[in-house]
Amino acid sequence: MEDQSAPSGMSSRFLIIFDFDETIVHMNSDDAVVQVAPGKQLPDWLKDSFRPGHFNENTHRVLAYMAEQGVSVEAIRSAVEQIPPSPGILKLFQFLQAHPQDFETVLVSDANMYFIEAWLHRAGARQLFLKIFTNPASINTKGQLQLLPYHSHNCPSCPDNMCKQVILQDYLARRTKERGCPFQRVCYVGDGANDFCPSLALGPSDVAFPREGYPMHKMITVTQQGEPPGFKAAMVPWVSGEDVVAHLKRLVEER
């Protein structure tokens, strides 16, 4: 689901894209929800039903189970709101909020709109993001939170419900047409395997910020060692959001 509620963008020089789980927040938001399940754990049959690459489908089953157990949407929202931010991320947000003329900020996540908006509103950071691309979420007549897949695609490397490279390329094409010119640079801040695919679409002037030691970082490192290397952008690993700020400051100073 593409969020349409944010204000229209300015002609910022750079585009910066964020993942959500384990990038903006310091854990997987699905895991936070388990904290309000009965006994703070899921039954074995539900855990065993998980299939790699089917996170959206799995979260939908978990939410259905939670509803059956009488766990309220309010309890789930509270659990999500209490997820700690990743180190230095709020400092990074403050920097971006102070430089709207330089950065257009977008979020692309395989979480869902309900979790993301709940957390961002609580953190006071919702208005930073011009667009949010994620799986749709709605509360049905029974008070149950339900999820749908974001889209379908033909990428063999990504989960069935979301290819972030398709989203990135479509967004860049649309914004280039609207702006009348491309962004000077694209920056991508992520951590997971599904953040690796969009990073392959970045060009030589762009920057990938993979969380150090996480799958995206490891996959880029392996790809850089290939012959020929299949990764074109600069790579700047981060432990804290302040590492990203330090690099962005240098980009802003370039004219």
Asked whether residue 4 carries a pLDDT value surpassing 60, the answer given is: no
Instruction: Give the per-residue pLDDT at 136.
Output: 94
Asked whether residue 140 carries a pLDDT value surpassing 80, the answer given is: yes
Vertex 191 angle, CA 89 and 212, to 5°: 80
Asked whether residue 226 carries a pLDDT value surpassing 90, the answer given is: no
Helix (H) or strand (E) holding 92: helix 89-97
Annotation marks residue 170 as catalytic: no
User: Which residues have CB under 8 Å from 205's CB, separation 6+?
Assistant: 184, 185
Is 160 labelled as part of a ligand binding site? no
Instruction: Give the per-residue pLDDT at 227.
Output: 63
Annotation marks residue 195 as catalytic: no
Phi first, then psi, for residue 134 (nearest 5°) are -160, 180
pLDDT band at 225 (very low <50, low <70, confident <90, very high): confident
DSSP state of 42: -
Q: Where in the chain is the domain with CATH 3.40.50.1000?
A: 14-27+86-139+151-253
Pairwise CA distance, residues 111 & 20, whole Å = 7
pLDDT digits (tens, 9 = 90+) for 109-119: 999 999 999 99
pLDDT digits (tens, 9 = 90+) for 66-108: 999 999 999 999 999 999 999 999 999 999 999 999 999 999 9
Least confident of 4-13, 27-36, 131-140, 143-152: 4-13
Is 44 labelled as part of a ligand binding site? no
CATH class, 14-27+86-139+151-253 region: alpha beta
The pair of structure tokens assigned to 111 is 């979480």
**Mean pLDDT computed over 236-250:** 98
Instruction: Give the per-residue pLDDT at 8.
Output: 46
Please provide the average confidence, as pLDDT, over all residues in the chain.
91
% residues pLDDT > 90 (the chain): 71
Set 3, 19, 44, 170: catalytic member: 19
Query: Half-sphere exposure of residue 45, counting CA atoms within 13 Å on the CB side?
Result: 2
pLDDT digits (tens, 9 = 90+) for 176-211: 999 999 999 999 999 999 999 999 999 999 999 999
Can you tell me which residue has the tokens 């392996």?
Answer: 222
Pairwise CA distance, residues 68 & 46, whole Å = 13
Is 19 labelled as part of a ligand binding site? yes
**Mean pLDDT computed over 49-67:** 83
Query: Half-sphere exposure of residue 19, counting CA atoms within 13 Å on the CB side?
Result: 30
Set 3, 21, 102, 206: catalytic member: 21
